[in-house]
Amino acid sequence: MATRAFSRSKIPIWASIVTRRNLTKTLTTSSSFSSLKPRPPFAGFDGPGPVLSGFIRLYHDGRPRGPLWRGKKLIGKEALFVILGLKRFKDDEEKLQKFIKTHVLRLLKMDLVAVLVELERQEETLLAVKVFEVVRKQDWYEPDVFLYKDLIMALARCRKMDEAMRMWENMRKENLFPDSQAYTEVIRGFLRDGSPADAMNIYEDMIKAPDPPEELPFRILLKGLLPHPLLRNKVKKDFEELFPEKHAYDPPEEIFGKC
């Protein structure tokens, strides 16, 4: 009886010891696994796409992302509507003027400038000129050489030199002078159209500007005036005086004669 009682009393003791050992082993195992860095599913895949229900989207959903999407958001919905409307009615002057009165005039400052810049980027230069005329009539408008410069350069690249010169005259009436980049584009535009006299007029304006001229417009003129040696010699003389350390290239005499 004493032996049976003793064996019964040992069962809870051994059970508690076994339970304690199992608990210690479990804690040790869990701590060792927790120290390891978990690996994400589909290791090595860094493609875009949100995680849905534990799975990564492995396809492109067609939505723009990154700087492209942020750039599109810079233009408001109303400004985009105005751009589309202007392009729609650009061949109908009556409808175009009506659209300008009803929609363009009601735009806020930032939207109006955004429409102007976007039309210049799309090379809708004649529409950009009409929007710029609206900008000049606003109460907040102040003479800005950069607005003129971008518009004149866009007109020169599209070979609309008459409109470019009209904007040039308006800019000079506001006592504004463009930078070397604008002079270069206008001079290149006149030389491309075969008007060296007009290119020389812009050159004279550049020489009289308050800012000193840069080298690039001279290079454009020296190349474009090869068939006109008298005009080229004048430009070459000024170039050598302003840039004595530079060299003006003269082509062989058998190609264009003596320069």
One pLDDT digit (tens) per residue for the chain, 259 residues = 444 544 454 445 444 554 555 545 554 554 444 444 455 544 444 444 444 444 444 444 444 444 433 344 467 888 999 999 999 999 999 999 999 999 999 999 999 999 999 999 999 999 999 999 999 999 999 988 899 999 999 999 888 999 999 999 999 899 888 888 899 999 999 999 889 999 999 999 999 888 888 999 999 999 899 888 889 999 999 999 999 888 777 765 545 555 4
- Pairing mode, strands 51-52 and 55-56: antiparallel
| pLDDT at position 93 | 92
| pLDDT at position 133 | 93
| Confidence (pTM) | 0.64
| pLDDT at position 65 | 44
- Per-residue model confidence as pLDDT tens digits over 185-208: 999 999 998 899 999 999 999 998
243: left (phi over 0), alpha (psi -120 to 50) or beta: beta
- Per-residue model confidence as pLDDT tens digits over 57-87: 444 444 444 443 334 446 788 899 999 999 9
| pLDDT at position 227 | 87
| pLDDT at position 202 | 93
CA gap 211, 77 in Å, rounded: 40
Q: Which of 156, 162, 159, 212 is nearest to 182 (CA)?
A: 156
Structurally, at CATH architecture level, domain 142-259 sits in: Alpha Horseshoe (1.25)
CA gap 163, 145 in Å, rounded: 17
Distances (CA, A) of 76 to 50, 51, 70, 103, 143: 28, 31, 12, 14, 25
Distances (CA, A) of 61 to 11, 50, 51, 65, 92: 65, 11, 13, 10, 40
Number of CB atoms found within 10 A of residue 90's CB: 15
